């Protein structure tokens, strides 16, 4: 699917420079989103996501967990998950040290393209896509790679913006103008094709979407608490967890055209550094 897009110009490069030397494509989306997350509205979103993401990944267990995010925010929420090795990927166009402003103890940083991860198939016990699909140049290829490296029974957590929400009110904002969020129904279809089944209902949060407004007054706070309790499917963001069930058909057209990549198993922390140095 993704390879057909390449032939017809459907997939954009991860990094492009405009006429004035400015970043475009995935790099531009990442930069704008990272800048917005430092605003009061962005900080509120991170504060709402933090306990939910921590509770979600706390149930992950095994040898390794891979974090693929638009930014390095919330990587520290993996500190309680039951895995031996925690790896965070930085986009290949971003130096790993620049991607993480403050290193997280116990987390290895690996420079990698999310659509061509340098890890062997069925070598990772858990994957977290934290707003990675929102900024991805090829959303299906990113999701397909996550499914490829997952072991059978491994868990995938997706954190993303919900286009079926008040998104249309925030879409004109520069930080969100070029984002490409995936709705939960569409994401569920893609996961089914890749052999992953949703564990539970998705969790919705931030019903104001990305509006730069603060809830003041008892009525607004009561309404917000009611929405978070009832969980109607139009929250501004969502967290969805799926489990890989057996085998699925994963199209490997890239390997057929360009030859097979040398892939590293993800078992112990040192393996991630070896994979990074081999790039």
> DSSP characters for 200-240?
SPPEEE-TTTT------SHHHHHHHHHHHHH--TT-SEEEE
The whole-number pLDDT of residue 39 equals: 87
Examine residue 198 and state whether it is found in any structural domain, yes or no. Answer: yes
State which residues form the domain around 156.
14-277
Nearest to 153, CA basis, from 192, 122, 116 = 122
Examine residue 3 and state whether it is found in any structural domain, yes or no. Answer: no
Nearest to 162, CA basis, from 188, 180, 189 = 180
The alpha-helical segments, DSSP class H, found in the chain are: 2-7, 25-36, 40-57, 96-99, 132-135, 139-149, 167-170, 184-193, 218-230, 253-258, 269-277
Residue 136 in 3-state DSSP?
coil
Examine residue 175 and state whether it is found in any structural domain, yes or no. Answer: yes
Examine residue 225 and state whether it is found in any structural domain, yes or no. Answer: yes
Examine residue 8 and state whether it is found in any structural domain, yes or no. Answer: no
Q: What are phi and psi of 130, to 5 degrees?
A: -100, 95
Region of 226 please: left (phi>0), alpha (psi -120 to 50) or beta. Answer: alpha
- How many domains, the chain? 1
Examine residue 1 and state whether it is found in any structural domain, yes or no. Answer: no
Examine residue 144 and state whether it is found in any structural domain, yes or no. Answer: yes
Nearest to 250, CA basis, from 203, 186, 179, 191 = 191
> Which residues make Cβ contacts (< 8 Å) with residue 136, sequence separation at least 6?
26, 114, 115, 142, 180
The whole-number pLDDT of residue 200 equals: 86
For residues 167 and 246, give the distance between their C-alpha atoms in angstroms, rounded to a whole number: 36
Four-residue CA torsion sign, 79, 85, 89, 94: positive
Nearest to 130, CA basis, from 60, 188, 78, 190 = 78
> Which residues make Cβ contacts (< 8 Å) with residue 122, sequence separation at least 6?
148, 149, 150, 151, 152
Residue pLDDT tens, the chain, 279 long = 333 333 333 444 444 444 334 556 778 888 888 888 888 888 888 999 999 999 999 999 999 999 998 888 899 999 988 899 999 987 654 545 545 555 677 888 888 889 999 999 999 999 999 999 999 989 999 999 999 999 999 999 999 999 988 776 777 778 888 888 999 999 999 999 999 999 989 999 887 655 555 556 666 667 667 777 777 788 889 999 999 987 545 555 554 444 555 555 554 444 444 444 444
Examine residue 202 and state whether it is found in any structural domain, yes or no. Answer: yes
Partners of 205 in beta bridges: 237
**Cβ-contact 147, 195 below 8 angstroms:** yes
What CATH number is associated with residue 23? 3.40.50.150
The whole-number pLDDT of residue 104 equals: 74
Nearest to 41, CA basis, from 251, 215, 240, 212 = 212
């Amino acid at each position: 699917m993704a390879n057909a897009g390449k032939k017809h110009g459907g997939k954009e490069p991860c990094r492009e420079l405009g006429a004035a030397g400015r970043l475009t494509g995935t790099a531009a989306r990442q930069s704008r989103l990272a800048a917005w997350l430092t605003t009061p509205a962005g900080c509120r979103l991170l504060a709402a996501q933090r306990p939910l993401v921590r509770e979600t990944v706390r149930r992950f267990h095994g040898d390794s967990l891979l974090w693929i995010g638009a930014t390095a925010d919330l990587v520290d929420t993996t500190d309680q998950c039951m895995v031996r090795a925690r790896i965070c990927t930085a986009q290949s166009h971003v130096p790993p040290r620049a991607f993480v402003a403050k290193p997280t103890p116990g987390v290895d940083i690996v420079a990698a393209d999310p659509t061509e991860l340098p890890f062997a198939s069925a070598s990772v016990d858990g994957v977290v896509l934290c707003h990675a699909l929102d900024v991805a140049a090829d959303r299906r290829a990113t999701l397909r790679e996550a499914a490829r490296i997952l072991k059978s029974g491994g868990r995938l957590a997706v954190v993303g913006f919900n286009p079926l929400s008040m998104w249309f009110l925030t879409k004109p904002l520069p930080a969100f103008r070029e984002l490409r969020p995936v709705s939960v129904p569409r994401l569920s279809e893609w996961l089914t094709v890749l052999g992953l089944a949703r564990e539970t209902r998705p969790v919705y949060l931030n019903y104001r979407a990305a509006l730069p407004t603060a809830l003041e007054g008892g009525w607004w706070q009561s309404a917000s608490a009611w929405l978070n309790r009832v969980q109607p499917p139009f929250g501004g963001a969502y967290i969805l967890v799926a489990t890989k069930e057996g085998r699925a058909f994963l199209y490997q057209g890239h390997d057929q055209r360009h030859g097979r990549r040398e892939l590293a198993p993800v078992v112990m922390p040192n393996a991630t550094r070896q994979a990074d140095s081999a790039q």
